[in-house]
Amino acid sequence: MIISINFSYNIFCHASPAKVFLIGFRASFFTSIQEAINCANPGDAIYVSEGVYFEHIVVNKSVSIFGSDPSKVIIDGGGEGVIVEVTASGFVMSGFTIKNGLSGLRVVNCRYVNFSFNTVEDVVHGVYFLNAEFNVVFKNNFTRNSMSIVLQNSNSNIISENHFYHNNGQSVSLYNSSYNVIFNNKIARNPAFAIYLEKSFNNTLTMNDVSYVCQGITLHFSHNNSISKNIIKIRDLMP
């Protein structure tokens, strides 16, 4: 069976056991995601079938990684370390659950990373950007994390249509970060700040839905930010 995805690659699907498929000039399959990344060329796509992958992945080239179903394709960090470390611009990741580690996704000195349609749970930092710009975090689910999204020294990123539920700390945190857009996210039942800015300027926060949190939007030494059309309900965390 051949499945076509939007990046104009053809995916050759084989029966179980779970495999990782690298799509480049030829189709090959591997038993770990890291092995496929190591063999890929920039611009290649990797398809990951259902299964639990106990790995810590380093992405040092502009590849795309697609899971078949975020509820069934799980990368488990075993309770430690950075689960997905990205040091290459142009990386795309979609369709995974990332869980059980220090950081779910860490992006350092990169541009044009797209992280969409994933679930991140049971980590300290869900998504952590350092010196990163022009990246997108879109339609992901975050739960049971200490800090779900952290931007540090990172500008011109988009955080949109994500769902944050029952996390233990701040949902979206910006430190020394400017010109970012935080748009149309839903944040609920987090016993801390929903959105926190520190020494961050010229960001846009709009149409976010915040409920059952300790603090809605907090600005600390931050100026010239645009805040509009957000819905904030501060109530007791219990229903």
User: For the chain, which residues make up each domain, given as ranges?
Assistant: 52-233
Q: Does 107 or 232 have the greater pLDDT score? A: 107
d(CA 152, CA 238): 32
Please give the pLDDT value at position 21: 64
Neighbours of 221 (CB within 10 A): 10
3-state secondary structure of 83: strand
Please classify residue 185 by burial: count the beta carbons closer than 10 Å to its beta carbon, then call 0-12 exposed, 13-18 middle and 19+ buried. buried
Query: Does the pLDDT value for residue 70 go beyond 60?
Result: yes
d(CA 18, CA 99): 19
> Backbone phi, then psi, for 35, in 5-degree steps?
-60, -40
Please give the pLDDT value at position 14: 33
Report if pTM > 0.75: yes
Please give the pLDDT value at position 28: 64
Instruction: Average the pLDDT over 27-48 and give the result.
Output: 86
The CATH number that domain 52-233 falls under is 2.160.20.10
Please classify residue 235 by burial: count the beta carbons closer than 10 Å to its beta carbon, then call 0-12 exposed, 13-18 middle and 19+ buried. exposed
Mean pLDDT of all residues belonging to the chain? 87
All residues at 6 or more sequence positions from 189 whose CB lies less than 8 Å from its CB, including other chains: 165, 166, 211, 212, 213, 237
Q: Are 77 and 53 in contact (CB under 8 A)?
A: no
Please give the pLDDT value at position 227: 97
3-state secondary structure of 35: helix
d(CA 163, CA 57): 24
Query: Does the pLDDT value for residue 11 go beyond 50?
Result: no
Instruction: Average the pLDDT over 111-133 and give the result.
Output: 98
